[in-house]
Amino acid sequence: MEYRKLGETDLAVSAITFGAWAAGGWMWGGNDDDAAIEAMKTAHDMGVTSIDTAPIYGQGKSEELVGKAIKGIARDKVQILTKYGMRWDDNKGTLAFKSKDNDGKDIDIYKYAGKESVISECENSLKRLGTDYIDLYQIHWHDMTTPIEETMEAVLRLKEQGKIREAGVCNYTAEQMLTAETVIKLASNQVPFSMVNRGIEDELIPHCIAARKSILAYSPLERGLLTGKMQPGQKFGEGDHRASVKYFKDENIKRTNDFLTRIKPLADEKNATLGQLVIRWTIEHPGITIALVGARNAEQAKQNAKAIEVKLSGEEIEFINTQLNDLQIVG
């Protein structure tokens, strides 16, 4: 495995980090708890020492499963990345969207990051995770009702108390990052980035490179689309959010598969899967520090970790990029 420091901090995380959204079941049509825990343990055995989670993933469930998975592992041998700022148990802030929990009960999700909320969320996360500190604490989404400075003052207090090691953000613009940094030094910004979703290339990546901030790319496999295992007419289970996402429209699955067919010979040449080739391309992309990749079971976790063994030359990356430039996503 390769390990990379976040921003200008001393916090080193695995270049392939375990993304634990699906482990919470919520918005993924449920999950198998034992399989999720085994996936995390297997990933760690393969050198994936970092796990990214959030309270909202299963309304605490993902964090609880992470806590069970890391139990017995020396605390300095694992890095816990979690978040705050999305509440299902309070109605302050702004309504983000309506959803259902894992039991099918209606819930309202709010974006809220007032100072007192950040402090209490951290305490709850520490309990669920079974630890006394969080390595990277990230705001999940910008809360328009709370000044960024107020939110970051709470995070600074948590850092001074030793409850978190470093501060990060998610889904922030470059301007929002600059505002946050008037209060606390940021390590990173976690944002969506994949071969079919490259919107951060114009502004955010150049900013982070210049400011020496890390980018944690989430959904690098575009939630399974870039594995090549999906076909037009794909059926998703009840509660699976992908059914309403544009990338999973039949026409876009077809177009993506046509692109993947063109780069598959390169994957075959390297004795790698398409998913592994995509993960490697992601962490080789300028400005991208970490790829967050989820796994439902131990075998998927093992295959994801092995992506680190794929080596790409400059010419091979250019070949992939050339093929990618012909891919147009519609809708």
Catalytic residue, candidates 57, 84, 110, 247: 57
User: Which residues is 52 bridged to in the sheet?
Assistant: 19, 81
Closest CA to 166 of 244, 240, 79, 107: 79
Q: Are 40 and 23 in contact (CB under 8 A)?
A: yes
- Write out the DSSP string of 11-55: -EEESEEEE-TGGG-TTBT---HHHHHHHHHHHHHTT--EEE--T
> Which long-range contacts link 245-248 to residues 24+ away (Cβ below 8 Å)?
246/329, 246/330, 246/331, 247/196, 247/197, 247/222, 247/223, 247/329
Q: Are 209 and 238 in contact (CB under 8 A)?
A: no
Q: Are 316 and 284 in contact (CB under 8 A)?
A: no
* H helices present in 181-313, as ranges: 204-211, 250-269, 274-284, 298-305
Q: How many CB atoms within 10 Å of residue 188?
A: 26
SS3 of residue 82 by DSSP: strand
SS3 of residue 87 by DSSP: strand
**Catalytic status, residue 172:** no
Separation of alpha carbons 245 and 33, rounded Å: 26
Please list the active-site residues: 57
